[in-house]
Each structure stands twice: as structure tokens, then as C-alpha cells.
Amino acid sequence: MSDPAVVVDHVSKRFRLYRERNLSLKAAVMRGRKSISDDFWAVKDVSFEVPRGNTFGLIGRNGSGKSTLLKTLARILHPDEGTITMRGRVASLLEVGSGFHPELSGRENVFLNGSILGLSRKEISSRFDEIVDFSGIEQFIDQPVKNYSSGMYVRLGFAVAINVRPDILLVDEIMAVGDGAFRKKSSEKFRDLTSEGRTVIIVSHSMGQLREMCDEVAWLDHGRLREAGPAARVIRHYEKSLEAEEA
């Protein structure tokens, strides 16, 4: 059995919540004490493995730690405890227009974003037509992206990310911004990636989408791992818990 693409080993991420805020440095010095804060563990002691070539979902209520964990996987955040092992090149699509410069055109941003994700100019040029075709915004590619709608941002950003041909692709709830046709095309692209042995980790509140796309999911509850395993089983248990809370 091959090594897993991702290993999350007892990972925790803490934030500080301040009960009060000093208005200035002078005020802090004059008061002679620090602001009072509490530790908030957004993710606490989470462990799981993602097999290579799988589509893996992260589920849970708002505030359960899904996006924090995804940002930690993307190395935007650093875990306070535990380790994360990512085997291969990683691309992420976590926010609308992440990595884009608003004053540059779509064409210029394709080259900028591609270089950020590790492609050479020659590699980007060879894939440029494919990127633009997938995004479906050919007629706007030379317009400044500050004039793009959120859906256009998503389509272009996703087209760049998948054409980096990453070993691991991280995708947040952002996919909900695209229209139905784009979501269908994206789902097909996910299947192409995993059939090539690449790995996709996705956060979504759409259980139907995750049930259709994912091999396995991890259910987070108040920052802790509640269950991980086959998508159909874990999603069923998650939905039953929601029904029980609402009853």
C-alpha cells in the first residue's frame, strides 16, 4: 500500500481572544498591564490520513474548524501542536481571487498566479489556452480582474490551480460561488485528477456534493475530530446528529 498523500498527526491550532483592547501603546504603558486574553482552540488534537488519489471532504457546522484546518494544510497557518505531512506539490483555492492582483488583467494574473504556484513562464504559456478555455472567460481575459464578478474570479482561479497539475489540491467552500454548469465541469475535473493519482481535499456544506464526489470525509465538531471514514457512512451519521439537535 502506497504512502498516504497527507498525514495529519495530533494537530491543534490556537487563537487568542482578547476580552478588552488597548486603544494605543501609550494607554497600555500607562495602565501597566497586558490585555486579558483567553485561548481558543479552533482545532484540537485532530489526526487522520488521506490516501493518495482520493477526494477527501471536511464536514461540520460553521465554526467547527474546517477552514482553519484547511488553511493549516495550505501552510497559511502553522499548527501550535502536532505535525502535517504533505507529499507532493500543493495548490490551494481558499478565497475568491486569492493570489490575484486587482489592477492586473486576467492574462497577467494567470502568469502571476501560476508562478506563485511553482510553474515556469514556459509551462504557463503551454497551458494558457487550456486555462482560459476551462475558465470560460475568454472575452474578458485582458480586462483588469477588479472588474470581474466573484464567479469569474472563481472560474479563473480554479482553472489556474488545476492546471498546475498539483499532487494535492485544497478547495474551500468557494466552489459554491460558481454556477451549476461550472460546478459540474469542476466535479468532472476532480475525477480526472484523482484518476491520475492526485489528491483533492475539499470543504463544503453541500452534503449531496460531497456524497457524490468524496471517497472519505472527516467530521469536525467544535475543533475535534468526531469521525473519519467512508463518505456515505460519515455523512449519514453527521446528518442524523443534525436532525437530533433540531428535533
pLDDT in tens, the chain (247 residues): 478 999 999 999 999 887 666 555 566 566 555 666 788 999 999 999 999 999 999 999 999 999 999 999 999 999 999 999 999 989 888 866 667 899 999 999 999 988 887 888 999 999 999 999 998 899 999 999 999 988 888 889 888 888 888 899 998 876 665 667 777 788 788 888 888 999 999 998 889 889 988 999 999 999 999 999 999 999 999 999 999 887 6
Q: What is the CB neighbour count within 10 angstroms for residue 100?
A: 23
> CA 228, CA 223: separation in Å to the nearest integer?
14
pTM above the 0.75 mark? Answer: yes
Q: What is the CB neighbour count within 10 angstroms for residue 182?
A: 18
Give the chain's domains with CATH numbers.
Answer: 1-19+38-88+170-179+199-247 (3.40.50.300), 95-166 (1.10.8)
> CA 149, CA 106: separation in Å to the nearest integer?
12
Q: Return the pLDDT at 238.
A: 97
